[in-house]
Amino acid sequence: MASTVASDKRPGYGQLLRTPGAWTFLLPGFAARQPFAMLTISIVLLVQHTTGSYGSAGAAAAVTGVSMALFAPQGGKLADRFGQRAVLMPGVLVHTASVTLLIVLALTDAPLWALFAAAVPTGASVPQVGPMVRARWAARLPGSPLLPTAAAFESVTDEFTFVVGPVLATALCTGVHPAAGLTAEAGLTLAGGLLFAAQRRTQPTHGRPALDGRAGRVSALSVPGVRVLAVAFLGIGSVFGGMQVSLTAFTEEIGQPGMNGLLYGLFAAGNMLAGVAVGAIAWKTGPRRRLVLGYTGLTVAASLLWTAHSVVLLGALGLLVGLFIAPALIIGYTLVDSLVPASARTEAFTWLTGAVALGQAAAVTVAGQLADGYGASAGFAVPLVGTVLALTTLVALRSRLSPRATGRVAARGIGHRVPVAVD
């Protein structure tokens, strides 16, 4: 639940990392979530190499993203009910096998429909380690003022993987072999996923009713605020997908394909730096207003990308866009804890992650087609359109992000909303 303590100083990262048992799931969790940042760009680079088309590459990556968006919330729901280990163990095995099949099909010039067929289980089985780590923090810090700090820390961790992952995948695909990025992704998923699944002591309690006085099991998507956040996260996904394809096409267009990883790394570095700052600041403004303001900044920054015609300017604009991504992600994930009961928390987190993947899938498809037909700069229109649509929805429906009634239950089961101080 949201913290009821108003303080002029937010608890720091040092205090958070001293939480008993935290490191037992943080280290394997970092290894297990690293492949997520490598998957889309690795598919784009491999399929573009074998087919010569950014449209085909974007479509194959999009199928993976759509599949993940559809199946991730179901995996989150199963994890809430049966435990994270029960979902992760078979999931990482299926994912490794599916990625291997996709590599073989791409290298043997299989038809595009065959790549799509392999991309479906590849996306469906992506381990949702980030939401699972967030659920573990929430389970270990119920009602704690450290929860917003934990949300910021997780965003920083996510963005750090998006600094390292695309750079590593690009280096492997361009310097070793076009399939090396996906090969590394499968290996890290298998090793990291199994290690994370082995940490049974810190996984949240599963298979029980909500702990907030509500009877029965609540679907996260039935909460209006979660639906609004999911639409907002679609816009964030459009930025990720549009940037990945358009940066790849831009560096190919200017004859410097190796710059792709560096440019995307600058974009992700902006995310990470903003995430560190957001977690360290004790905000006086409420989260709903900060989410709208941050999203407005993201939309304005995204509108400038298509004007960049040099590596230096594009790198600077990518960094600027990145600075607005992390605050939106952090606030969204923090709001989830005040919107849904504990029994649906992992599912709620996976709906948001799935929304990012779905937005990314649509973006890589459209950006790939635009890059093929009109040049790399045209692909940068995708992040602009995606953020404008999401911002419009967020402004119109922001009232639905109010926290649910918590804490008190009347004799007839009617909850009374109590005032809470927000960060």
3-class SS at 207?
coil
Range ranked top by mean pLDDT from 92-96, 301-305, 393-397: 92-96
Q: What is the pLDDT of residue 8?
A: 44
Confidence of residue 387 (pLDDT cuts 50, 70, 90): very high
Q: What residues contact residue 322 under an 8 Å CB cut-off, 6+ apart?
A: 159, 266, 267, 268, 269, 270, 271, 272, 273, 274
- Element (DSSP H or E) covering residue 409: strand 408-409
Higher pLDDT, 130 or 217: 130
Range ranked top by mean pLDDT from 4-18, 53-67, 116-130, 160-174: 116-130
Domains and CATH numbers, the chain: 24-205+221-403 (1.20.1250.20)
Q: What residues contact residue 236 under an 8 Å CB cut-off, 6+ apart?
A: 298, 325, 328, 329, 356, 359, 390
Class of residue 329 by CB neighbours under 10 A (exposed 0-12, middle 13-18, buried 19+): buried
Residue 165 confidence (pLDDT) above 70? yes
Tell me the average pLDDT across 395-404.
Answer: 80
Higher pLDDT, 326 or 366: 366
d(CA 339, CA 345): 9
Q: For residue range 175-201, what is the model confidence (pLDDT) as tens digits?
A: 899 999 999 999 999 998 898 888 888
DSSP-assigned letter for residue 182:
H
Helices 259-280 and 224-253, axial angle in degrees (round to 10) = 150
- Element (DSSP H or E) covering residue 32: helix 22-51
Residue 217 confidence (pLDDT) above 60? no
Look up tokens 């977690």; give the residue.
Answer: 279
d(CA 152, CA 158): 10
Q: For residue range 263-312, what is the model confidence (pLDDT) as tens digits?
A: 877 887 787 788 777 766 666 777 788 888 889 999 999 988 888 788 88
Q: For residue range 102-119, what is the model confidence (pLDDT) as tens digits?
A: 999 999 999 999 999 999
| Percent composition of the chain: helix, strand, coil (DSSP 3-state, to 5) | 75, 0, 25
Residue 74 confidence (pLDDT) above 90? no
Average pLDDT of the chain?
80
Q: What residues contact residue 23 under an 8 Å CB cut-off, 6+ apart?
A: 17
- Element (DSSP H or E) covering residue 367: helix 345-374
**Nearest partner of 133 among 69, 193, 212, judged by Cα:** 193
Q: What is the pLDDT of residue 409?
A: 37
**Nearest partner of 282 among 114, 423, 121, judged by Cα:** 423
